[in-house]
Amino acid sequence: MYAEGVADMAGRIRDEDIALVRERSSIADVISETVTLKSAGSGNLKGLCPFHDEKSPSFNVSPARNVWYCFGCGAGGDAIKFLMDAEHLSFVESVERLADRAGIQLRYVEGESPAPRARPQQGQRQRLVAAHAAAVDFYRAQLTTAGARPAREFLARRGFDRAAAERYGCGFAPDAWDLLTKHLRQQGFSHDELVTGGLSRPSRSGTLIDRFRRRLMWPIRDLAGDVIGFGARKLFDDDDGPKYLNTPETPIYKKSHVLYGIDQAKREIARQGKVVVVEGYTDVMACHLAGVPTAVATCGTAFGADHIGVLRRLLLDTDAVAGEVIFTFDGDAAGQKAALRAFEDDQRFVGRTFIAVSPDSMDPCDLRLAKGDMAVRDLVARREPLVDFALRQVINRYDLDTVDGRVEAMRRAAPLVAKLKDREKRPEYVRKLAGDLGMEIEPVQRAVLAAASATPGKDAAPARRPAPAEPIVDNPQSMVEREALKLALQEPVLAGPMFDAVEASEYRHPVHAAVRAAVAAVGGAATATGGAVWIESVRDACEDLAARALVGELAVEPLRIDGEPDPRYVSITMARLQWGSVTSRIKDLKSRIQRINPVNNKDEYFAAFGELLSLEQHARALREQAAGGL
Ligand SMILES: [Zn+2]
């Protein structure tokens, strides 16, 4: 936590102001800027944790208590702590950012606050963001000058009027060595700040010069809308630099995370559960203006795992909720290659991935120019599953009129089907592939199975966190015990009474029994209202470390049911759980009865026999319950 930071910094920002900032900051609003939250019941919210990689939401927010906590990785705190962790801000920077949001004028203990852009004790991030904001203003103003005519013409030729250029903050880096650098130095930004932020660089002679010159400029923003870098396009033939130049890696600009347009697209991405990944700045603009508000683009790098992470949190992409990711590609060879590479990436997506290829190999910007806004919307609407696209790409390379061609195409296509994360879809694709190849299903199925066993790593079930202390045996009884505990932890209101009716002794695995006992120790699941507090109380009641760790795991592990759990599901789960112990007791009892001499030990014999009858009756009832009757 930041106890030391508070003591240190409280001397600068007044304590009562910090308290006011904390009180006036809606934790849900602050966190919603970067993490999509949905209701977790009891007024709590949950989403995918930004601090560790996860597929089901264990990141909990309690607006009532103004705190957040992740059951997956143990991170937690208040709104200030969230900004510190998520945006890598210092304590002071976080308080300042929240104060800005809430419209609170901070008072500093040592003298009054100087002008916000030049205050030396501001944190580095805020200084670099301020320098970028000043640079945006500078480049925008330059766009209206005579020298910027090629930049204005570039935008106009691509269908962007003045309003569009303004909406995206487009600007122009003038034909000068150090105009921006001097401008920013005059505003109080230091030599080091301009170099660190990637806005200026030292020349050979050692003087500071502008990084970008004679280029059309796009400000690149983070999720919260702060400008953190620039994309710069070449305009002049005698410019021998690359077509696009981007801000280099800086403390605030990480190209593997950055998505152009995310600040404008994030709300629609979250609302529609859908994101469209395009290739350039003009494509993002064209899509947004054409009525596809969910478009974003990577900046000077291929779409990678970190981008997936950013999007998954917005999409709330979990095993239960599948967000849709749509890649648009040119129909050319490079685009096809990119699509096949995306197929490799796809294995990290839980959501469904689609490809939208323009029939005329036009990017969204060209398409909008040539055929209008509707054509861009149609392009996205006509998306096809990535698997279908990739299979077609492979098959098209072979001559299917020959036996050799068909067999070779099958051999090449089979690994793609074998890689499908969603195994239930494999038979469907085996049939489709057989149809496309004009072959029988049988040999295609064999080829897919062979390919699946050849890549055991990729085919394995999604990795779980390592099991706590004692390995949990992966057998049906163990699975159903886990499921029961998950219901008690995640859905206590629903599962409470039925869960509490089954005692710890019915749980075969000792760690499971320990968690069951902890639930009993805090008064049973029926008394709980759920949420973070409930799970923490169960965890605190656990007597051993393995059980504590397991509570954290089970609190976040998805239930093994499609859709919402209902009383019927709880009933079936609890019946299956008891079935194991009842059947083994029946077996033990039968063996004991065989060993009793009914003549000499008549009473014992009849008692055991009576017990057997009632157990068998119980077993019958459980079997009916497990079959789904309530
Ligand atoms: Zn976490």
pLDDT per position as a tens digit, 578-614: 887 788 888 888 877 777 776 777 777 777 777 887 7
| 526 Cα–ligand 1 center, Å | 28
Rg (CA), the chain: 31
Reported as type and span, the H/E element at residue 171 is strand 171-173
| 255 Cα–ligand 1 center, Å | 23
| 58 Cα–ligand 1 center, Å | 7
| 553 Cα–ligand 1 center, Å | 11
Largest CA distance in the chain: 115
pTM of structure: 0.59
Reported as type and span, the H/E element at residue 611 is helix 602-626
CA pseudo-torsion sign 14, 20, 23, 27: negative
CB 69 within 8 A of CB 80: no
| 70 Cα–ligand 1 center, Å | 5
User: Which residues have beta carbons under 5 A from ligand 1 (an ion)?
Assistant: 49, 51-52, 70, 72-73
Task: Say which residues have a Cβ less than 8 Å from residue 445's Cβ, sequence separation at least 6.
Answer: 430
Per residue in 191-230, pLDDT (tens digit) is 999 999 999 999 988 899 999 999 999 999 988 788 999 9
> Cα dist. 47→42, 449, 558 in Å?
15, 36, 13
Closest CA to 391 of 420, 428, 416: 416
The Cα 366–Cα 439 span in angstroms is: 40
| 252 Cα–ligand 1 center, Å | 22
207 or 421, higher pLDDT? 207
| 75 Cα–ligand 1 center, Å | 6
Alpha helices in 396-425 (DSSP H): 403-418
Q: Is the pLDDT of residue 390 over 90?
A: no
| 423 Cα–ligand 1 center, Å | 28
- What does the pLDDT read at residue 334? 59
Averaged pLDDT for residues 6-11 = 36
| 466 Cα–ligand 1 center, Å | 15
Per residue in 315-331, pLDDT (tens digit) is 765 554 567 888 887 66
Name the E strands within 212-351.
Answer: 215-221, 227-234, 244-246, 259-260, 274-278, 295-298, 324-329
| 87 Cα–ligand 1 center, Å | 15
| 448 Cα–ligand 1 center, Å | 37
Q: Is the pLDDT of residue 109 over 80?
A: no
Averaged pLDDT for residues 155-177 = 96
Q: Is the pLDDT of residue 8 over 50?
A: no
| 525 Cα–ligand 1 center, Å | 25
The Cα 59–Cα 57 span in angstroms is: 6
Per residue in 431-459, pLDDT (tens digit) is 989 988 888 888 899 888 888 777 544 43
Reported as type and span, the H/E element at residue 546 is helix 545-556
| 453 Cα–ligand 1 center, Å | 33
| 53 Cα–ligand 1 center, Å | 7
